[in-house]
Structure 1
Amino acid sequence: MKITKIDTFLVSAVWRNFVIVRLETDEGVVGYGEGTMGDFEKTIAAAVNDFAPFLIGREIEINKITNFLNRNFFWRHGPILSTAISAIEQAMWDAVGKSLKKPVYELLGGRSIDRLRVYANGFISGAQEPEKFAEAAVDVVKQGFTALKFDPFGAAGPTISSEDFKAAIKRIEAVRNAVGDNVDIMIEAHGRFNVRTAINIAHAIEEFNPFWLEEPVPEENIISMREVKQASRVPIATGERLTSVGRFWDLLSSNAADIIQPDVCHVGGIRAFSHVAAMADVNNVAVAPHNPNGPIATAASINALSTVPNALILEYWLDAQTVRRSLVKEYFDISDGYLHPSSKPGLGIEVNEEALTKYQYKKMHLEYFSSDYKYYGDTA
């Protein structure tokens, strides 16, 4: 089965644009992949288009093609190139699975677990009052989720004022009191703090029994991450912005994380995700994929994670539901905080092609950690 055409689509979804890759074959099979990053969407699409002429007419041999894309160009890895390669690789897996009438997870050796736990994110934005955090968290639990993640730190970083520190703790306390002890809460820091501040935060939030503290220091500084981990009794999670298997090797060999968060859109695709998970497994580290992306990436993450014996939990975003549900003909079914991998071939989803052009690209940039924080678009 040979590649005959590769197209990219930019789909507007509230505060980012999903980057979707459509791959056609000479057998009439179409595969889909996703390379959403939150910014630089046109740059990622351009990288996919730059790779495309080297792929048209080639037999779909996934390992051979990804090795070629990763090794046969002078510039390697980095967020743009790795994200473009990830999207192409997912689309190849989808096409091969559809051709063989097998789910991708079966092509990877079969499932290690029958269901995946998920945690909610993207359910609150711009709020300051602890009560608003608590109300949003309760609403998530009413939807059936047993775990949720939020960033309580506002615009703070790399240090935090006493006032902002107290405000953050009040938000966490409000959420914990609202949802009770049987719901897991993850605390997000987005890699903003220095080591001393991060350690102080880890110690202060310990009483609320968080499931993890995520990226307390910049993810590129593995030595600093290890220092925080060694000082913290709260599990440390990181890895969403690591864009190669090699960087995860550095992280794991340094014993700098309790939980790793590879993103199937950025790490190099499904096979690279599997390599990273295997390295984590031999180091007794759990895998909890980063996944603020669209439904195609979610499907790819489900297939990859379901084969992993050290799978912990999958991120599941609640924003932009109109766009998300329009992109696929049957959406994911979550029950009691878990979802079950589809038995359908390929990635297990059927893309609604009309939706690829319905939600036109919008130029946007979200200032995550400034006093001018804004949430773009319709949250329906």
Structure 2
Amino acid sequence: MTQISRQTRIANIDVSAFRVPLKKPWVSAAHAITHHEHILIEIELEGGVKGIGWTSTMGNAGLAVTALARSYLAPMLIGRSIYEHEALWTALWRRSHQPGPGGIAALAVAGFDLALWDLRGKLAGLPSRNLIGGEASHIEIYASAVNLHLSEKALVEQTKEFLDLGNKRFKIKVGRESLEEDLSRIAAVRAVIGDRPLMLDANQRFKPGEALQRINAYARFNPVWMEEPMASDDASSHARLAANSPVPIALGEEVSTRFEFWNYVSTAAVHYLQPNVLKVGGISEWLKLAHLGNCANLFIAPHGALEASVIVAPAIPGCYAVENIDGGSFVDQGIAFETMKIENGTVTLPDLPGLGVEFDMATLASYRSDPNAEIPLADPKKFYDNE
């Protein structure tokens, strides 16, 4: 065995899960989220180098992801070279595909894929983004929040806080029971931010006819996009909507496979493609989906997953600003040390070899998941603040 092969062969894998409470609940038209679940995957090479990847859920199914990763996928990689990355990704995906492609399977694969990219960066002595074609040291972000439950007054105050921090782009939730409520809230935010870019997100709230009606009403406020107006499984209805909507359609947050994305791209059902690095199976697959969107001349806008999105965004020319969800970063949750600086609507990227994330393992230890825990479902209406 050569020294090079020993340095790159996988010797051990550790999978651990943590359930971290959010400082403030996230409430959209679809969910009430009180915790995030983070699954860390540490891969150690025969030469002793370690890489850490992660995958996350919004408080749901993290234990299932952990079990799939630990019991079924991790053993497949022992003894393999980390530079077989396409073969490794495909093998993990095929093993996960039989019980159901996408969803839990994609989340599990993503954790391994990120750990492998972390290792490749560390062995090269470079940030992983450099290895995939991203040389930028600064990228733009937009201020986002899961805030449908806030009163209009509280929503305005939150927006003012984001503006005071130097943010230049903003996204808010829509989908209140009353269209008039939505319009009043959008108008109030528009009054605060002026003509700065504003995105709207309905989290799959509407049926087709209602979606077009709402979007026609929202259009007067000149939103950059209307995100997830309908069920993400319904590509055909989105194609009809996109052909008639006065506002560009954005989606991808809950689309997992390249075949699902192809259904949207090939039918002109979307204008802003939003693959989430974790939900599509990691960096390797995200790049393919971004290139798919480029082939159709679409905007590429990474969804959520800030720490992963800042790795891939610099590699795609013309990529839209990265989403910074209030309270959603690892630093916001108190589980990682600050390695990148966010100010004035931009993020300064770390020069650390690998993915550039340093977890606070001592803090995380207090949130370790109980594999036998029963996780209750939160009611969104419980959190509504109607003044």
**AA in 1 matched with 2:354:** G
Match of 1:346 among 354, 358, 378: 354
2:382 alignment counterpart:
372
CA–CA distance in structure 1, aligned partners of residues 38 and 374 of structure 2 = 12
Q: 1:51 aligns with which of 73, 98, 101?
A: 73
Paired position in structure 2 for 1:312: 320
For residues 15-45 of structure 1, what are the alpha-carbon distances to aligned partners after superposition, in whole Å with 9 as ceiling and x for unaligned?
A: 2222222222222222222221211010111
Contact 1:367–1:373 (8 Å) recurs in 2: no
Structure 1 residue corresponding to 2:14, chosen from 6, 20, 29: 6
> Take 1:347 and 1:324, find their aligned partners in 2: how far apart are those partners?
18
Match of 1:104 among 117, 128, 133: 128
Which deviations, in whole Å up to 9, do the C-alpha atoms of 1:271-308 show, x marking residues without a partner?
111000101111111111111x4xxxx33221111100
1:257-276 CA distance string (max 9 Å, x none): 11011011010110111000
Measured at CA, do residues 321 and 107 of structure 1 come closer, stay the same or move farther in structure 2, by a change above 3 Å?
A: closer
1:323 CA drift (Å): 5.7
Structure 2 counterparts to residues 1-380 of structure 1, below 5 A: 1-3=8-10, 4-14=12-22, 15=34, 16-38=36-58, 39-49=60-70, 50-60=72-82, 61-72=84-95, 74-111=98-135, 115-122=138-145, 124=147, 126-128=149-151, 130-154=152-176, 156=177, 164-181=178-195, 183-291=196-304, 293=305, 298-319=306-327, 324=332, 326-361=334-369, 364=375, 367=378, 370-373=380-383
Q: Deviations over 1:200-246 (max 9, x none)?
A: 11110111111211011111101111111111121110011111122
C-alpha distance in 1 between matches for 2:353 and 2:119? 9
Contact between 2:15 and 2:39, CA under 8 Å: does it hold in 1?
no
Distance 1:331 1:303, change over 3 A: same
Tell me if the contact between 1:236 and 1:259 (Cα under 8 Å) persists in the aligned partners.
yes
- Structure 2 counterpart of 1:205, one-letter code: Y
Match of 2:353, SS state, is coil
Structure 1 alignment gaps of length 5 or more: 157-163, 376-380
The CA deviation string for residues 300-356 of structure 1, in whole angstroms up to 9 with x for no partner, is: 221111100130111112216786463322243123211133222111222222232
Paired with 1:100 and 1:241, the residues of 2 have a C-alpha distance of 33
Cα distance between partner residues in 1 of 2:145 and 2:38: 15
Report how many residues are paired: 358
Shift of 1:104: 1.1
Q: Secondary structure at the match of 1:371?
A: helix
Report the counterpart of residue 4 of structure 2 in structure 1: none
Distance of aligned partners of 1:278 and 1:353 in 2 relative to their CA distance in 1, 3 Å threshold: same
The CA distance in 2 between the partners of 1:258 and 1:330, in whole Å, is 34
Identical amino acids, percent of aligned pairs: 26
Q: Distance in 1 between matches of 2:19 and 2:79?
A: 27
Code of the residue aligned with 1:195 in structure 2: it is: P
> Contact 1:8/1:48 (CA < 8 Å) preserved in 2?
no
Q: Report how far residue 62 of structure 1 moved.
A: 1.5
Provide closer, same or farther for how the CA distance between residues 145 and 123 of structure 1 changes in structure 2, counting only shifts above 3 A.
farther
**Greater mean alpha carbon deviation, residues 145-154 or residues 67-76:** 67-76
C-alpha separation in 2, matches of 1:35 and 1:326: 17
SS at match of 1:290: coil
Match of 1:378 in 2: none
Distance in 2 between the 1:323 and 1:358 partners? 16
Give the letter for the 2:64 counterpart. T
In the alignment, the residues of structure 2 paired with residue 47 and residue 285 of structure 1 have an alpha-carbon distance, to the nearest angstrom, of: 34
Root-mean-square deviation (Å): 2.2
Whole-angstrom distance in 2 between the partners of 1:185 and 1:195? 23
Change in Cα spacing, 1:92 to 1:365, as seen in structure 2 (3 Å) is farther
1:88 to 1:185, Cα distance in 2 relative to 1, 3 A: same
SS at match of 2:315: coil
* Partner Cα separation in structure 2 for residue 374 and residue 137 of structure 1: 18
Measure, in 2, the Cα distance between the counterparts of 1:92 and 1:374: 42
Question: What is the TM-score with the length of structure 1 in the denominator?
Answer: 0.88
